[in-house]
């Protein structure tokens, strides 16, 4: 099995349909934005607007900061999701005209000033969109009287190729164009969300995986200051961004793959989008495996520092934060290969070698883990070691660095595992459905039984309480203490959740001897 959406190469890049504007239409919810009016639909008592334009078509400004949309007359239908950014893995239309967001609200312009939960999708910085069924905000908005927003923005080379050292001054911000899209979307929320029943002064950014990573990156971006008031991440383990020298090496290699010389960025800006997407399959020039990597770049301007190195950014130290991880993170990436569930002790070290980010001896790690967990199988240890040596350390560092500057932070670990395929455990992305309440959505493995419902009610209530007040404590969970050193109190989420000091302490200490940098840095 695989948790990625199926890859479609296309003629894979579909052009976006032009904005449909009707002067009149049947009775339906209508909201007024700064660019014009939009028509939504009622779904299960919630007003839903899909495909609301927050930015202009980016094709004319490829690799440059996005701009606000041109105003329109009449009423634009906001009844279908907008296209996703061009990408390799997708089963939906894509286009460079992709700056659209989606809103779920219990009421329009009713003065209620509800908390706004602004979700940034995962998919590294390469794939995905805000339209996954897992992110449907209907249940969350209805259950907790909040406004939910999901967003599309530029990805991969379109959003994060650093061309500043290869082209003209107009490309200075190219390494963070996707993040600037998110800032434009947050500015749209600030200027418009009150018309959708939300409070522009109470915005929580939250995201899973690459989406969480973008949320923490915004915390180190001066241009984002004041646009959000709380942050919650689900396996968004970025500590470092990409350095400008490595980012330039990747941009140069990408151009070479396309048959261009470093000085020909003007040609790169005019190639068909599908050609750029096809070139993304090239091997990364710096990593040992996988396609070329593009993500946020320390460009000394838009992003002046790493998100959590050498410390937590003090300029966002006042922002309350939830940091979460799942117990079996790497089963999302490595659980699709049946061989990984049938490893022998002889095979295990070699299998570990290419899956660790922290550079430690696989043989040493196997010995330490066998002593820790004498009943575990080679496959059990494979997933435990890769999680602790690849996907877990970044979360710990973020929480530790926040604790060191006295910044408010709460940490959780999801232990409740997949119900429809128990082998998968609590894999990376498994917490999404539990927060959104989309237990029966395509891609969820929670099932809809009493246990999953119980965990959903805990996680969603805590996230909604956090969005409302800046503190996740609520009646649905045990008293959740902030993360402090040296105790490291963590909410371990399960059918019956509990506070645990320093969960998996021995595993953390094994890997603490090696420095961690996000893969690709």
Q: Catalytic pick from 428, 444, 497, 519?
A: 428
CA distance 153 to 296: 13
CA distance 152 to 102: 9
Q: What is the DSSP letter of 269?
A: T
Q: Is the peptide bond before 486 cis (omega within 30 degrees of 0)?
A: yes
Task: Using alpha carbons, select from 3, 178, 8 the residue that is nearest to residue 90.
Answer: 8
Query: 481 catalytic, yes or no?
Result: no
Residue whose tokens read 């040596």: 389
Q: 342 — phi, psi (to 5°)?
A: -140, 35
Buried b (16+ CB within 10 A) or exposed e, 189-225: bbebbbbbbbbbebbbbbbbbbbbbbbbbbbbbebbe
Collect all residues with Cβ–Cβ distance below 8 Å to 488 and sequence separation of at least 6.
399, 411, 501, 502, 505
CA distances from 342 to 338, 381, 389, 426 (A): 7, 11, 21, 19
CA distance 371 to 507: 11
Write down how long the chain is. Answer: 521
Query: 329 catalytic, yes or no?
Result: yes
Q: 424 — phi, psi (to 5°)?
A: -80, -15
Query: 428 catalytic, yes or no?
Result: yes
Judge contact between 280 and 88, C-beta under 8 A.
yes
What is the Cα 466 distance to its own chain's centre?
A: 18
Q: Catalytic pick from 85, 129, 131, 209?
A: 209
Judge contact between 101 and 138, C-beta under 8 A.
no
Strands 114-120 and 147-151: parallel
Q: Catalytic pick from 96, 194, 329, 400?
A: 329
Element (H, E) at 324: strand 321-326
Please report, in angstroms and rounded to a whole number, the separation of the first and last CA atoms in the chain: 29
Buried b (16+ CB within 10 A) or exposed e, 430-454: bbbbbbbbbbebeebbbbeeebbbe
What is the SS3 assignment for 340? helix
What is the Cα 98 distance to its own chain's centre?
A: 17
Residue whose tokens read 């915390």: 219
Judge contact between 433 and 441, C-beta under 8 A.
yes
Q: Nearest 5°: CA angle at 141, between 491 and 50?
A: 125
Catalytic residue list: 209, 329, 428
């Amino acid at each position: 099995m695989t948790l990625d959406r199926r890859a479609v190469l296309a003629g894979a890049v579909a052009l976006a349909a032009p904005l449909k504007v009707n002067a009149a239409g049947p009775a339906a919810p209508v909201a007024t934005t700064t660019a014009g009016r939009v028509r939504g639909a009622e779904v299960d008592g919630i007003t839903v607007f899909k495909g609301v334009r927050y930015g202009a078509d980016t094709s004319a400004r490829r690799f440059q900061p996005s701009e606000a949309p041109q105003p329109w007359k009449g009423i634009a239908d906001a009844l279908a999701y907008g296209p996703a950014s061009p990408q390799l893995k997708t089963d939906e239309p894509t286009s460079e005209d992709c700056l659209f967001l989606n809103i779920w609200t219990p009421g329009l312009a009713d003065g209620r000033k509800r908390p706004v939960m602004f979700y940034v999708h995962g998919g590294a910085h390469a794939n995905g969109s805000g339209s996954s069924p897992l992110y449907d905000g209907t249940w969350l908005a209805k259950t907790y009287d909040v406004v939910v927003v999901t967003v599309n923005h530029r990805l991969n080379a379109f959003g994060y190729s650093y061309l500043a050292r290869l082209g003209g001054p107009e490309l200075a911000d190219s390494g963070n164009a996707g993040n600037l899209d998110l800032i434009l979307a947050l500015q749209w929320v600030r200027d418009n969300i009150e018309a959708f029943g939300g409070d522009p002064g109470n915005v929580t950014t939250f995201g899973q995986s690459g989406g969480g990573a973008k949320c923490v990156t915004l915390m180190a971006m001066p241009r984002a200051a004041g646009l959000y008031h709380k942050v919650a991440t689900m396996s968004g383990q970025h500590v470092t961004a990409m350095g400008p020298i490595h980012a330039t090496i990747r941009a140069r290699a990408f151009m070479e793959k396309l048959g261009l010389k470093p000085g020909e960025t003007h040609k790169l800006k005019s190639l068909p989008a599908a050609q750029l997407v096809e070139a993304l399959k090239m091997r990364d020039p710096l990593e040992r495996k996988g396609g070329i990597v593009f993500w946020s770049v320390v460009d000394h301007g838009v992003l002046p520092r790493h998100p959590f190195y050498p410390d937590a950014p003090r300029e966002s130290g006042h922002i309350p934060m939830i940091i979460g991880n799942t117990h079996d993170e790497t089963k999302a990436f490595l659980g699709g290969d049946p061989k990984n569930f049938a490893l022998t002790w002889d095979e295990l070290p070699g299998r570990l070698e290419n899956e660790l980010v922290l550079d430690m001896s696989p043989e040493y790690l196997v010995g330490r883990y066998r002593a820790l967990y004498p009943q575990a199988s080679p496959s059990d240890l494979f997933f435990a070691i890769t999680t602790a040596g690849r996907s877990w350390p970044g979360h710990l560092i973020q929480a530790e660095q926040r604790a060191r500057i006295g910044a408010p932070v709460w940490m959780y670990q999801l232990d409740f595992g997949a119900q429809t395929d128990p082998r998968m455990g609590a894999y990376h992305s498994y917490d999404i459905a539990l927060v959104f309440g989309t237990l029966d959505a395509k891609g969820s493995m929670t099932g809809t039984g009493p246990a999953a419902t119980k965990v959903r009610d805990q996680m969603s209530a805590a996230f909604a309480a956090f969005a409302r007040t800046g503190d996740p404590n609520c009646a649905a969970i045990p008293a959740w203490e902030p993360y402090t050193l040296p105790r490291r109190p963590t909410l371990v989420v399960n059918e019956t959740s509990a506070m645990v000091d320093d969960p998996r302490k021995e595993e953390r200490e094994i890997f603490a001897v090696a420095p961690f940098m996000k893969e690709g840095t």
